[in-house]
Amino acid sequence: MVVATNTTSIRSEKIRHIELPIIDLKAEKSEVVKKIVKACEEFGFFKVINHGVPSDVISRMEEEGKEFFAKPVCEKQQAGPANPYGYGSKNIGIMGDQGEVEYILLQTNPLGISEKTQRISTDPMKFRYAVTSYIEAVREVACEILELISEGLGVPLDTSVLSRLIRDVESDSVFRLNHYPPLKDSNKNTSASSFHHHENQNSTSNCNSNNRVIGFGEHTDPQILTLLTSNDVGGLQISLEDGVWIPVNPQPISSFCVFVGDVLEAMTNGRFPSVRHRVIVNRVEARMSMALFASPPLHAKISPIPELLSGNNKKLFRSFTWAEYKKTTYANRLGERRLSFFMIL
134 binds ligand GA4 (CB under 6 A): no
Query: How far apart, in whole angstroms, are the C-alpha atoms of residue 177 and residue 158?
Result: 33
Stretch that binds ligand GA4, among 27-35, 92-100, 231-239, 248-256 (CB under 6 A): 92-100
CB atoms within 10 A of CB 70: 17
297 binds ligand GA4 (CB under 6 A): no
Q: How far is the CB of 65 from ligand GA4 (least distance, A)?
A: 15
Q: Of 287, 286, 232, 226, give the one whose Cα is nearest residue 254.
A: 232
Residue 148 or 180 with smaller CB distance to ligand GA4? 180
Q: How far is the CB of 219 from ligand GA4 (least distance, A)?
A: 5
- The one catalytic residue in 212, 271, 276, 287 is 287
Query: How far apart, in whole angstroms, are the C-alpha atoms of residue 330 and residue 338?
Result: 10
322 binds ligand GA4 (CB under 6 A): no
Pick from 139, 176, 196, 198: which binds ligand GA4 (CB under 6 A)? 176
Stretch that binds ligand GA4, among 34-42, 61-69, 90-98, 155-163 (CB under 6 A): 90-98
23 binds ligand GA4 (CB under 6 A): no
Stretch that binds ligand GA4, among 116-124, 189-197, 214-222, 228-236 (CB under 6 A): 214-222
Q: How far is the CB of 326 from ligand GA4 (least distance, A)?
A: 7
95 binds ligand GA4 (CB under 6 A): yes
Count interface residues toward ligand GA4 (CB under 6 A): 15
Sheet of 256-260, strand order: 22-24, 45-49, 256-260, 225-230, 287-294, 174-180, 97-107, 86-92
174 binds ligand GA4 (CB under 6 A): yes
Pick from 21, 84, 124, 270: which binds ligand GA4 (CB under 6 A)? 84
Q: How far is the CB of 236 from ligand GA4 (least distance, A)?
A: 13
Pick from 49, 67, 90, 93: which binds ligand GA4 (CB under 6 A)? 93
278 binds ligand GA4 (CB under 6 A): no
Residue 77 is which amino acid? Answer: Q
Residue 146 three-state SS: helix
293 binds ligand GA4 (CB under 6 A): yes
265 binds ligand GA4 (CB under 6 A): no
Residue 32 or 146 with smaller CB distance to ligand GA4? 146
Q: Of 178, 229, 223, 221, give the one whose Cα is nearest residue 48.
A: 229
Q: Are 336 and 217 in contact (CB under 8 A)?
A: no
Q: Of 85, 111, 177, 194, give the one whose Cα is nearest residue 138.
A: 177
Q: Are 287 and 180 in contact (CB under 8 A)?
A: yes
Q: Are 304 and 320 in contact (CB under 8 A)?
A: no
Query: 240-272 burial, b if ≥16 CB within 10 A, otherwise e?
Result: beeeebbebebeeebbbbbbbbbbbbbbbbbbb
Concerning whether 283 is annotated as a catalytic residue, the answer is no
Distances (CA, A) of 93 to 45, 89, 213, 298: 24, 11, 19, 19
Query: 41-62 burial, b if ≥16 CB within 10 A, otherwise e?
Result: eebbbbbbeebebeeebbebbb
Residues 52-81, interacting with ligand GA4 (CB under 6 A):
none
Pick from 64, 185, 221, 265: which binds ligand GA4 (CB under 6 A)? 221
Binding site for ligand GA4 (CB under 6 A): 84, 92-93, 95, 97, 105, 174, 176, 219, 221-222, 293, 329-330, 334
Catalytic residues: 287
